[in-house]
Amino acid sequence: MSKTGALDLASGLGGKLEKNDVLSAVEKYEKYHVCYGGEEEERKANYTDMVNKYYDLVTSFYEFGWGESFHFAPRWKGESLRESIKRHEHFLALQLDLKPGYKVLDVGCGIGGPLREIARFSYTSVTGLNNNEYQISRGKELNRVAKVDKTCDFVKADFMKMPFPDNSFDAVYAIEATCHAPDAYGCYKEIYRVLKPGQHFAAYEWCMTDAFDPNNQEHQKIKAEIEIGDGLPDIRLTGKCLEALKQAGFEVVWEKDLAVNSPLPWYLPLDKSHFSLSSFRLTALGRFITKNMVKVLEFIRLAPKGSQRVQDFLEKAAEGLVEGGKKEIFTPMYFFLARKPLSATE
């Protein structure tokens, strides 16, 4: 069952954490970040704790606002947000040339919205890899409801150390997930290892673009807002991802920032000037209402202490994402298709 009601938001808040531990988890999470004096090296060294705290705290907010797929999409005029999200998932399936019966890996699968869509679109068996226990429990429940639980499964593990033998998968994809890796090379190298030779890896990466100026204070502020609001150790430049792919052994078939020619900007659902009934909860008014609702739920103790603070850093994320998108210094859809050479022995 989808969990998209206000009470679902309150009861899921904190994920697998004890409700009494939510406030201290928020405090600890915030301290990892620049806005609270945190350091990049500490975020990288403690990425498992930082990212898991983040997803325990935010998953019920994500499900409330986004549904089952936690990612952005380029969008055509006349297309709803939901339609654009599905099309973005189908695009990956087509790029990977998925064939019925393929064994596919979804790296950093969330609660499995894209996994279910791609499995049904391509008649493949998709394994979702995720390090967050709460998201996996939600994913399993939703797989049962969608009746894909016989062909698709979830594995709880870190994508920096995958529990799969070499050359296990016919295709691998990652949607807005490997940006959480403390080091892109280490993560891509693991993907390379588990992919069969001659097969493809495709991803949508969150990146800073070439327009990002590290000496510009405003750019740095936007980057820090996105990092705290989205549980990221350090957002890499597109060029760094490309370099890491090649270093891991991949041949890059093609790559492009899909934000560049999107007829409607990807950040539109979060933009203050935009109003939509179909994605109302993501709009500025929808978020304002959610903020007040969470305040009440926390006051009457249906939501744990610390819930409003989670909403606050998510609001910071929304602002950073819209500003980063408008200034074109940030993209959540740096796409690449990469191939493991047929001659690869590893």
Ligand X SMILES: C[S@@+](CC[C@H](N)C(=O)[O-])C[C@H]1O[C@@H](n2cnc3c(N)ncnc32)[C@H](O)[C@@H]1O
For residues 73 and 344, which CB has a smaller minimum distance to ligand X in the complex?
73
Q: Please list, in sequence order, all residues whose beta carbon lies within 8 angstroms of the beta carbon of residue 316, skipping any fewer than 6 positions away.
A: 35, 225, 228, 229
Q: Are strands 125-130 and 153-156 parallel, antiparallel or unpaired?
A: parallel
In the complex, minimum distance from the CB of residue 234 to ligand X, in angstroms, rounded to a whole number = 13
For residues 38 and 139, which CB has a smaller minimum distance to ligand X in the complex?
139
Is residue 114 involved in binding ligand X (CB under 6 A)?
Answer: yes
SS3 103: strand
Q: Where are the alpha helices (DSSP H) in 205-306?
A: 217-230, 238-248, 284-299
User: Near ligand X by CB under 6 A, which window of 153-161, 208-216, 243-251, 287-295?
Assistant: 153-161
Which residue of 3, 33, 53, 71 would you call a contact of ligand X, by CB under 6 A?
71
Is residue 26 involved in binding ligand X (CB under 6 A)?
Answer: no
Q: Please list, in sequence order, all residues whose beta carbon lies within 8 angstroms of the beta carbon of residue 39, skipping any fewer than 6 positions away.
A: none
- Helices 307-326 and 217-230 cross at an angle (nearest 10°) of 140
Q: Please list, in sequence order, all residues whose beta carbon lies within 8 angstroms of the beta carbon of residue 258, skipping any fewer than 6 positions away.
A: 74, 204, 331, 333, 334, 335
Contacts to ligand X from residues 38-67, by CB under 6 A: 51, 55
In the complex, minimum distance from the CB of residue 58 to ligand X, in angstroms, rounded to a whole number = 9
For residues 69 and 279, which CB has a smaller minimum distance to ligand X in the complex?
69
Distance CA 63, CA 282 (A): 11
In the complex, minimum distance from the CB of residue 88 to ligand X, in angstroms, rounded to a whole number = 9
Which residue of 141, 158, 251, 319 would you call a contact of ligand X, by CB under 6 A?
158
Is residue 129 involved in binding ligand X (CB under 6 A)?
Answer: yes
How many residues interact with ligand X (rule CB under 6 A)? 22
SS3 251: strand
In the complex, minimum distance from the CB of residue 230 to ligand X, in angstroms, rounded to a whole number = 7
For residues 158 and 251, which CB has a smaller minimum distance to ligand X in the complex?
158
Is residue 193 involved in binding ligand X (CB under 6 A)?
Answer: no
Tokens for 170, please give them.
């016919």
Which residue of 12, 15, 108, 286 would you call a contact of ligand X, by CB under 6 A?
108
Distance CA 140, CA 152 (A): 9
Question: For binding to ligand X (CB under 6 A), which residues are involved?
Answer: 51, 55, 69-71, 108-110, 113-114, 129-132, 135, 158-160, 175-177, 180
